[in-house]
Structure 1
Amino acid sequence: MPFIQTEMIRLNQSFNTSAEAIDAAGEVLEAAGCVSPAYVKAMHERQALSSVYIGNQVAIPHGTEEAKSAVQKTGISILQVPAGVDFGGQTAKLVIGIAGVDDEHLELLSQIAVICSDEDNVERLVQAKTKEEILSLFMEEVA
């Protein structure tokens, strides 16, 4: 998955609220030049419309359709949250922020869903000690 780089992975994060986690995921995307600040706002709008929690301790914050113009390049931020963060009554230990140019976000969502549908993969990601471990798991599962 060429859109993941080690500098966009954060280990051992801790958040009090899902809003803090969404901010952090968006800030990583913004710092990497993937999105403008308007996209981070749209990530919160998406969460307000329907939870970005997808199950298996994973949340995938992303912007609304209207925020497409705020995406400069496709990217993924991965936040490991070992203690978990509440997303509307569900605990996420992995927060994966995505931004996609055109329809690339759909491909990203499906690839992430395949990886994260396996509880063992999620556990390996949550327990990973290095960014490279996380990166290699995504690479081997997509290959």
Structure 2
Amino acid sequence: MSDILTRESVVASGAATTRDEAVREVGRLLVEAGAVHEGYLDAMLQREQTVSTYMGNLLAIPHGTNDAKGEIVRSALAFVRYEHPIDWGGDDVRFALGIAGLDNEHLDILSRIAVLFADADDVQRLLDAPDADAIFALLSEVNEDAEDADVREVTT
């Protein structure tokens, strides 16, 4: 599970200024990671047209439609932080977390990210992080928590 989010898939200062640009930007990271085929990006944009992926606390979680499952090669996450809020259908977004999931492998980490973003202090730490390395370190705690839970389940 530790390779679902890699340092290369974390960007501290995204270039997008619109929702669709942000979806493409985070989706491009998934393509570059070899997690999805190009067609997944279109499915991410289609999803956004039907239902907003805004989750609250400045976070959106763009992902493809169910029809795009065949475009997924492996489970992965990509994370982009934006200096200025992006209008996400009336909500401000500073973080886009792109998802590609096979066999529900990503769900445990997603639940931990939801916990992270439920805590205003944790969100502020992500906003204040000086660079992508620091952001990755904060998000890696989520990865490590998931791995620790897997070890606990195996040993108990």
TM-score of Structure 1 vs Structure 2, range by shorter chain: over 0.9
Mapped to 1, the partners of 2:121 and 2:83 lie a distance apart of 15
Mapped to 1, the partners of 2:81 and 2:45 lie a distance apart of 19
Alpha-carbon offset, residue 4 of structure 1: 1.1
Contact 1:10–1:80 (Cα < 8 Å) also in 2: yes
Which has the higher mean CA deviation after the structures are superposed, 44-53 or 110-119?
Answer: 110-119
Contact 1:14–1:84 (Cα < 8 Å) also in 2: no
Mapped to 2, the partners of 1:81 and 1:91 lie a distance apart of 11
Mapped to 1, the partners of 2:132 and 2:6 lie a distance apart of 9
1:35-74 maps to which residues of 2 (within 5 A)? 35-74=36-75
1:101-120 maps to which residues of 2 (within 5 A)? 101-120=102-121
Contact 1:26–1:40 (Cα < 8 Å) also in 2: yes
1:1-143 maps to which residues of 2 (within 5 A)? 2=2, 3-142=4-143, 143=145
Compute the RMSD of aligned alpha carbons.
1.4
Which has the higher mean CA deviation after the structures are superposed, 46-55 or 112-121?
Answer: 112-121
Mapped to 2, the partners of 1:43 and 1:108 lie a distance apart of 20
Mapped to 2, the partners of 1:109 and 1:39 lie a distance apart of 19
Rg: which structure is higher? 2
Is the partner of 1:102 in helix, strand or coil?
coil
TM-score (norm 1): 0.92
Could you report, residue by residue, the CA deviation over 1:34-93 in whole angstroms, capped at 9, with x for unpaired residues?
000111111111111110110000011011111111110111111010211110010100
Is the partner of 1:13 in helix, strand or coil?
coil
Alpha-carbon offset, residue 105 of structure 1: 3.5
Tell me, which stretches of 5 or more residues in structure 2 are unaligned?
146-156
Contact 2:44–2:65 (Cα < 8 Å) also in 1: yes
Contact 2:12–2:135 (Cα < 8 Å) also in 1: no
Is the partner of 1:16 in helix, strand or coil?
coil
Percentage of identical aligned residues: 36
Give the counterpart letter for 2:40 in structure 1. Answer: Y
